[in-house]
Each structure stands twice: as structure tokens, then as C-alpha cells.
Amino acid sequence: MEKVNLAIIYYSAYGTNYQLAKWAEEGGKAAGVEVRVLKVEETLPEAVVNRDAGMKANADATKDIPIAGHDDLEWADAIIFSMPTRFGVMSTQMKNYIDRQGGLWAEGKLMNKVVSAMTSAQNTHGGQEATLHSFYVAMMHWGAIIAVPGFTDQSIFAAGGNPYGTSVTQGQDGKIVEDAEKVKAAIAHQVKRTVEIASWIKKGKQ
């Protein structure tokens, strides 16, 4: 397999999508690729974050995670995005990051990036699939190669059966409701599939 650079770019208010990103990092390392875990900038005022104990705890715990930049997208052959669902679409913070990539898009530097996405919501039917669908529309505008997990491995069925990307439910206690090992296995397969396709694309460019 061609050597692949994998960027895992996430937004997480309370830590759920940070956890998904960390599991994706494990999957990337297991697949033998170069990995960067990056967060997008918080758009909420610091005073708002500091008033919410859960958000403040997550901000403190992830303060050393680098902010995703334009150069990270140029570097990456494959990108795994992870974000919470907000009324059935991606979070404002992730949308803000995507919207600021117009320069790279205009230069043709986002085409043929291999992308896949994960998401979370606070209830089982909270818009996870709609969020992934709408996110992939933006990726179509990039000219990216969308690599969904599909039903290509038993782990997808075991983790809840979302063929568009791994999705989880965050309980009232802030923890992921689904079995962690099953989710990790589904993410590992999603990452492996994404970087494998990126490897094919990269080899074809040579």
C-alpha cells in the first residue's frame, strides 16, 4: 500500500467526537499511516464555554490538540471528519472551517482528497444520517472522493448499521451509549477503507 497521510479533523463540544477522533487515530496507526489529529476552532465566546462545566472540561482536556489549518488539508491524502449533529446538519464550528477553505478549493488543492465522516447526536434518531449526507454534499463541491464504510464489514452491523459513517448516541451522562469496542471496530474499518482507497488514488497519480 502507498504511504498515506491521514488527517483526522474534528469538532467536539463535550468530548464525544474527540473520543471518536482518538479511536480513528488508533485505526490509522494500526493501518500504518501517518496521522494528524486536529480540531477546528471554537466559535462560541470563551465566556459561554467557561460557564458550561462539561464544555470547559473538554476544552481544558484538549487544549494541546492543534487547530486544523489549510496546510493540514494540503498535506493529507485522506481525511476523516468527526462532528456533532446540530438540527440534522453539521455543527457551526465545522461549517465555519469548511467555509474558510475557498482559497484551496479555487486553486484545485482539495480535489481527489479521500474523505469520510463520523457524527454523534443526543438521541438515536437525532439526525446522524442527515448530517453525514449534507456533509458529503460539501465534499462533492471539493471534488473529493467520498469513502463511506457501506456494509463492507460485519463491524458496521454490530455498531448500529450506519453505512454512511460511524455514528453514536451521547447519553445524558455525556458518555457514548453504544458498546465502545463495537464502535472502535467500526471506526477502525472505516479508517482502513478510507486510507486504502487513498492509497489507490495516490498510486494512480504516480
| 3 state SS of 47 | helix
Identify the CA nearest to 121 among candidates 148, 82, 164, 163: 82
Number of domains in the chain: 1
pLDDT digits (tens, 9 = 90+) for 69-105: 999 999 999 999 999 999 999 999 999 999 999 999 9
C-alpha cell at 53: 462545566
Q: pLDDT band at 206, cuts 50/70/90?
A: low
Cα 159 from Cα 4, distance rounded (Å): 26
Kind plus residue range of the DSSP H or E element containing 55: helix 53-61
Q: How far is CA 49 from the centre of its chain?
A: 22
Cα 175 from Cα 86, distance rounded (Å): 18
Cα of first residue to Cα of last residue in the chain, in angstroms, is 13
| 3 state SS of 80 | strand
Find the DSSP H helices in 63-179: 70-75, 92-99, 102-106, 128-142, 154-158
What domain range is 15 assigned to?
A: 5-205
Q: What is the pLDDT of residue 128?
A: 95
Cα 39 from Cα 93, distance rounded (Å): 10
pLDDT digits (tens, 9 = 90+) for 18-62: 999 999 999 999 999 999 999 999 999 999 999 999 999 999 999
Q: Long-range pairs for 168-174 at CB < 8 Å and ≥24 separation?
A: 168/16, 168/20, 168/120, 169/120, 169/121, 169/122, 169/123, 169/124, 169/126, 170/14, 170/16, 170/84, 170/120, 170/121, 170/122, 171/122, 172/122, 174/14, 174/15, 174/16, 174/54
Check whether 205 has a pLDDT greater than 80: no
- What average pLDDT does range 115-135 have in this prediction? 94
CATH number of the CATH domain containing 177: 3.40.50.360
What are residue 89's DSSP bridge partners? Answer: 86
Kind plus residue range of the DSSP H or E element containing 90: strand 89-90
Cα 116 from Cα 79, distance rounded (Å): 7
Q: What is the pLDDT of residue 126?
A: 87
